[in-house]
Amino acid sequence: MSTEFPTRPDALTESARFSIVASQYNPEFVDRLVTFASEELKAIVPNPEISVIRVPGSFEIPIAVQTVATQQKPDALLAFGLIFEGETLHASLIATAVTQALLDISLRTSIPVLHEVLVAKNEEQARTRCLLPEINRGIEAARAAIRILQSLRQVVKAR
């Protein structure tokens, strides 16, 4: 695991719309990702619009992300879930499918999809990534969302 953590980007000068799609599984961890991300977005973006959509599990995240992307067209989407590795390949299969689907949706819609559907070997790994602010993946996703929006807005302005 990388212990490097991205610094907070410069604040946006205009508002932005964000949608967070989060799994209902492992709520003690996923809820904190959502909270940390929402707080970070509010600290960087003036008057952000943030909607949160809950889905049953990580496997259902892509269909909700796709629907939000095509129907609501937010500036960026953040996807949060937590999958614990087990004794079978089930977690790996879900993680791979979710990863590919989120990438496909982002490329097809040209809307950034920040992928923080995490796979953890144990609760200690989950706590470190979800509950603690030092390397919290919710904060990381919010900062990445701002950075990609800044980059994409520069590309559009350069046209």
Helices (H), 4-75: 27-44, 61-71
pTM of the model: 0.95
**Residue 115 falls in the annotated catalytic set:** no
- The 3-state DSSP class for residue 9 equals coil
Give whole-number Cα distances, 45 to 67, 135, 144, in Å: 24, 21, 13
Task: Using CB atoms within 10 Å of the CB of residue 29, give its burial: 0 to 12 exposed, 13 to 18 middle, 19+ buried.
Answer: buried
35 exposure class (CB count in 10 Å sphere: 0-12, 13-18, 19+):
middle
The rounded distance, in Å, linking the Cα atoms of 79 and 69 is: 12
Structure tokens at 81: 């879930």
pLDDT tens-place values along the chain, 159 residues long: 556 778 999 999 889 999 999 999 999 999 999 999 999 999 999 999 999 999 999 999 999 999 999 999 999 999 999 999 999 999 999 999 999 999 999 999 999 999 999 999 999 999 999 999 998 999 999 999 999 999 999 998 887
Q: Where do the structural domains in the chain lie, given as residue ranges?
A: 17-157
Place of tokens 């990388």: 2
Pick the CATH number of 17-157 from 3.40.50.300, 3.40.50.960, 3.10.20.600, 1.20.1050.10: 3.40.50.960
Q: Which of 90, 100, 108, 132 is catalytic?
A: 90
pLDDT (tens digit per residue) in 8-53: 999 998 899 999 999 999 999 999 999 999 999 999 999 999 999 9
Query: How many residues does this entry show for the chain?
Result: 159
